[in-house]
Amino acid sequence: MHDTPQQQSSDALQATLENFRSRIQAASAQRTPLQIRGAGTKDWYGQTLQGELLDTRAYRGIVDYEPTELVITARCGTPLAEIDAALAQHNQMLAWEPPRFGGISTVGGMVAAGLSGPARQSAGSVRDFVLGAVLMDAQGQVLHFGGQVMKNVAGYDVSRLLTASLGTLGLILEVSLKVLPRPFASNTRVFEVDQENAIRLLNEWGGQPLPLTASAWVNNVLTIRLAGAQAAVDSAIRKLGGSELSNGDDFWRDLREQTHAFFAQPEQALWRLSLPSTTPALGLPGRQLIEWGGAQRWLRPDDGSHGDAVAIRAAAIQAGGHASLHRGGDKSIGVFHPLQPAVERIHRRLKAEFDPAGIFNPGRMYAGL
């Protein structure tokens, strides 16, 4: 009597889990670091990688998908392309437009990195769509957090805490995500306008009932995306004007994947500033690209180095935000914005609670974490 393919698959998944558990337990006992990684599309993100590779891609597959409930649950090693294909059959999508960086990014890496694309300003971030998570901790225990419904967030919401933790708290095994229907209509408009007026317009439009789902300003051109019901899009076009960009989908894809010309030469420093959307134009030397209605500012320093990190971070603080060295440059200055003492204590307590031996992606975010 032979096992069915389903049984063989289940056996293989269980063997993968046991392999994860034994490696994690051994690493904890010996206090040796593990580098948790899916497809490796974001190896450049964060501080320098450390430890022996623990590849998550063998633990893959969609666990459950309920189109009528707008919820999908998948294992960590599942490629986003597989998620996209399943959602497309029901005209649904990952609303925050996570970057794919080559199309092979995994679900676990998407949640661990916490990066969102152009629709962040209208839909929210990946954290807003994480309903539940399954985590393997430093003892090899499998822990369940959250659920598969939006209201299941009572108490300490660990499933969302794991978002953007860069794998420093444990091995994310599985996540449940809220998905949304695709808009019926979409239209991309362009306007020739300087930076100050672009910021003003974006904030004016952001306070109106317009179906504005994405925006980008670069090289004195403001590009916006209107998406939703056809009548709402048509009405917004009549009100705002502008010229239609015929290859709008390509533009937003290039922006999401950071293959737009502004992001060329990835080895050079690229700063990401998160600021209040109303922040006036920053007088920092270098080229800038503005997204998310003015709330996200990308900066390419003029000299090709990492620029004046102190001045860049000071400008962000003065505006009420923070700055990170997103890609390239000299990581010795610290990739992420320095933590305030009180916040750093919280980070260290969380790390000590989840990963007392310090084995999971140590130092990927901050030294000693």
* DSSP structure class, residue 266: T
Q: How far is CA 213 from CA 210, 216, 220, 233, 305, in A?
A: 9, 11, 20, 11, 33
Span 241-263, average pLDDT: 97
Give the global pTM: 0.93
| Residues composing the chain | 369
Q: Are 292 and 339 in contact (CB under 8 A)?
A: no
Separation of alpha carbons 117 and 126, rounded Å: 10
Q: In what helix (H) or strand (E) does residue 62 lie, and over which residues does it extend?
A: strand 62-66
- At residue 148, the pLDDT reads 61
Tokens (6 digits) for 51:
């430890």
Averaged pLDDT for residues 246-255: 97
pLDDT at position 154: 43
What are the structure tokens assigned to 301, written together? 């320093």
- What is the model's pLDDT at position 151? 44
Given this model, what pLDDT does residue 302 score? 82
> Could you tell me the CA-to-CA distances from 6 to 2, 63, 74, 79 in Å, in that order?
11, 13, 17, 20
Q: Is the pLDDT of residue 230 over 90?
A: yes
What digits encode the pLDDT tens for the residues 93-146?
999 999 998 879 999 999 999 999 999 999 999 999 999 999 999 999 999 998
Section 74-94 average pLDDT: 97
User: Does 281 have pLDDT greater than 60?
Assistant: yes
Average pLDDT over residues 184-198: 98
